[in-house]
């Protein structure tokens, strides 16, 4: 089976369901409160594993009990956790999430141990990257480490997929080592300066990423409008699934996990996108991050 390495964050998510997020100076009562496993890296690793991929994770947790609990949880799903390092004297990363009745969310993050995923730590697990068919990256860990990991992957013939989230400016040294990039509208605008209002804007942004950084494949996720897929300048709109959203937390992570799983299985680019879209569509109908990610059987049933 083709192998996936995910280098990224592990967070403890504190999730409050509210009618609307509080305004400045306002105190509100939540309808529901949960503590769940999260972090963009872990979410994407869990999504890929639940959807059928062979996954190894490279990450950092703190010395707190919940970090160890989350590591065991990843192992129980079948993820190879040998690349997860415990950072002495640090807490596992934290995310505070308000989920509004509309399904939209507002998130604040404390990186904690994620900030200690340095190049030195990553190099201890260099072989896992080199032995993988694909390396999946996000932006909740130090960017310098991502650059070093992407260079190792490219030298080994491992494809590099970057989900550039949360949105931030990125060095060319990272972008030039990326084979496939999967921004949403906000992240695509951050990288290209193109505000995406129409599908034609998505096409312009994708072509900028092709021409400026040599990225072969660009997937711009457009929420309910689906995905703009551009490969070497040939763009195509792929409509999404229409679902009633309860919580959009980790929908993008679920899409990325499903998409790369499809690629690893040898599915076409279009079918891989559809597989990711189906998994993400199911995830928004449930509360939480990893707790909302569907199984492979559920995802295939939606596609049938």
Burial zone of 65 (CB within 10 Å; 0-12 exposed, 13-18 middle, 19+ buried): exposed
In this structure, are strands 11-18 and 32-38 parallel, antiparallel, or unpaired?
antiparallel
Cβ atoms 292, 252 nearer than 8 A? no
253 classed as catalytic? yes
Annotated binding residues, written as ranges, equal 11-13, 39-43, 140, 184, 221-226, 247, 249, 252-253, 283, 286, 288, 292
What is the C-alpha separation between 168 and 90, in angstroms, rounded? Answer: 25
Place of tokens 């505070």: 96
Annotated binding residues for substrate, written as ranges, equal 11-13, 39-43, 140, 253
Q: In terms of Cα–Cα distance, which of 302, 215, 280 is closest to 43? A: 280
What is the C-alpha separation between 171 and 71, in angstroms, rounded? Answer: 31
What is the C-alpha separation between 227 and 217, in angstroms, rounded? Answer: 13
Cβ atoms 171, 147 nearer than 8 A? yes
Please enumerate in sequence order all residues whose Cβ is within 8 A of that of 44, keeping only pairs 6 or more positions apart, or say none: 6, 8, 136, 138, 163, 253, 256, 257, 260
Point out the catalytic residue in the list 133, 179, 253, 271.
253
What is the C-alpha separation between 210 and 188, in angstroms, rounded? Answer: 12
Please enumerate in sequence order all residues whose Cβ is within 8 A of that of 223, keeping only pairs 6 or more positions apart, or say none: 184, 185, 240
The residues carrying an active-site annotation are: 253
């Amino acid at each position: 089976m083709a192998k996936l390495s995910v280098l990224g964050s592990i967070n403890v998510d504190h999730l409050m369901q509210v009618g609307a997020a509080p305004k400045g100076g306002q105190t509100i009562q939540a309808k529901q409160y949960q503590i769940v496993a999260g972090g963009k890296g872990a979410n994407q690793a869990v999504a890929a594993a639940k959807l059928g991929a062979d996954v190894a994770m490279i990450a950092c947790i703190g010395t707190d009990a919940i970090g160890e609990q989350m590591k065991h949880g990843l192992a129980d799903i079948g993820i190879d956790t040998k690349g997860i390092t415990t950072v002495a004297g640090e807490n596992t990363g934290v995310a505070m999430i308000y989920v509004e009745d509309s399904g939209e969310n507002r998130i604040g993050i404390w990186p904690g141990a994620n900030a200690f995923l340095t190049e030195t730590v990553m190099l201890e697990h260099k072989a896992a990257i080199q032995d993988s068919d694909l390396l999946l990256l996000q932006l909740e860990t130090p960017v310098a480490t991502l650059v070093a990991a992407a260079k190792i992957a490219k030298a080994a013939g491992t494809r590099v997929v970057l989900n550039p989230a949360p949105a931030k400016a990125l060095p060319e040294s990272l972008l030039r080592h990326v084979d496939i990039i999967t921004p949403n509208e906000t992240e695509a605008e951050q990288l290209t300066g193109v505000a995406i209002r129409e599908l034609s804007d998505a096409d312009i942004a994708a072509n900028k990423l092709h021409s400026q950084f040599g990225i072969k494949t660009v997937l711009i996720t457009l929420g309910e409008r689906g995905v703009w897929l551009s490969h070497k300048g040939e763009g195509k709109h792929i409509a999404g699934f229409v679902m009633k959203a309860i919580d959009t937390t980790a929908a993008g992570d679920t899409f990325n996990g499903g998409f790369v799983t499809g690629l690893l299985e040898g599915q076409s680019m279009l079918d891989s996108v559809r597989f990711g879209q189906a998994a993400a569509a199911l995830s928004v109908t449930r509360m939480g991050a990893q707790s909302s990610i569907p199984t492979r059987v559920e995802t295939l049933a939606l596609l049938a």
